[in-house]
Amino acid sequence: MDWSDCPLVESDPYKLGGVPILKGTRMQADSIVENYEGGSPIEEISYNFSIPEETIRLVLEYAQAKQKTAVPA
């Protein structure tokens, strides 16, 4: 997923080799989505990764909006 215009996510070649992560963390943005799609509730993701629930909700909303606008190949 292209996270380049998400204000909560950064890609820095010196942090995890440039993999998109939540700003100020080492948590991969895609991992948030994968955990949620795998059945983990927001509260559990928040607890497991010490990330505020509101941040997780915003990341999931962004990902959902991006998936809706994606054009199938």
Joined tokens for residue 7 = 């204000």
User: Could you tell me the CATH number of the domain that includes residue 26?
Assistant: 1.10.10.10
Host domain of residue 46: 9-66
Mind listing the pLDDT tens digit of every residue in the chain (73 residues)? 899 999 999 999 988 899 999 998 999 999 999 999 999 999 999 999 999 999 999 999 999 998 876 555 5
Q: Give how many domains the chain has, as a whole number.
A: 1
Contact status, residue 8 vs residue 55, Cβ threshold 8 Å: yes
pLDDT at residue number 70: 57
CA angle 32, 26, 18 (to 5 degrees): 95
Cβ-contact 31, 56 below 8 angstroms: no
